[in-house]
Chains A and B, each alone.
Chain A
Amino acid sequence: DADVTQTPRNRITKTGKRIMLECSQTKGHDRMYWYRQDPGLGLRLIYYSFDVKDINKGEISDGYSVSRQAQAKFSLSLESAIPNQTALYFCATSDTRGGETQYFGPGTRLLVL
């Protein structure tokens, strides 16, 4: 079984709808991250969490919110989706004890019409 899972894997939604992307991990890592990837732009950090009570904004947090429900779960919400949030979204985890090697989920392809 995969160590980092994301649901859904693909989602099509309409402008203005609320969307939640979920991430779960079985690696026991403290740190979790949400990135988005756009063609030609590389990966950009949306939010990150170093433990359940520590949540921080990344480079492009506007229009997004997150919830760290437990050490193993980190959810990303788009409160009112807009077309330029169409992207590939990745969750990742890392262990503070093992340096910063990050382990990525399989990604969620989101299309906002």
Chain B
Amino acid sequence: KNEVEQSPQNLTAQEGEFITINCSYSVGISALHWLQQHPGGGIVSLFMLSSGKKKHGRLIATINIQEKHSSLHITASHPRDSAVYICAAYGGSQGNLIFGKGTKLSVKP
């Protein structure tokens, strides 16, 4: 079983829809990261959070430490949000990031 599990693996939405991507982890962590991988392959960090909630534009990330669960929400989705979203937990046995397999999001106009 992977230490970091994401769901769904694939998600198709219509422009304007509210989107939720989920991440569950089984390791003790000090931080949870959300990353975005563009269709061209580049990876950027969206959020790093250890508690509560963070918001950046239309993106919101939440974490529940007790339940070992995090969610990434996208409000008013747009085709340019189409990408792979990756959850990563920091603080595993090697003290490095442990990555989920990613959620591929496609937003149709």
User: Which residues of chain A have a CB within 8 Å of any CB of chain B?
Assistant: 33, 40-45, 48, 56, 58, 88, 90, 99-104, 106-107, 109
Contacts and interface: CB of A to CB of B under 8 A. Distances in A.
Contacts of A107: 41-43
Contact of B33 (A48, A56, A88, A101): A101
B96 A101 contact: no
Contact of A103 (B45, B88, B96, B101): B45
Contacts of B48: 99-101
Contacts of B101: 40-42
13 contacts: A40-B101, A42-B99, A42-B101, A42-B102, A43-B97, A44-B99, A45-B94, A48-B96, A88-B41, A99-B31, A100-B31, A103-B45, A104-B45
Interface of B: 31, 33, 41-45, 48, 86, 88, 90, 94, 96-97, 99-102
A102 B43 CA distance: 10
Given A41-B101, A42-B101, A48-B96, A100 B90 contact: yes
A58 B94 contact: yes
Contacts of B33: 100-102
A63 to B, nearest CB: 19
**A48, A88, A90, A104 interface centre (most CB from chain B within 10 Å):** A104
A1 to B, nearest CB: 15
A44 B86 CA distance: 12
**Most A-side CB within 10 Å, residue of B86, B88, B90, B97:** B97
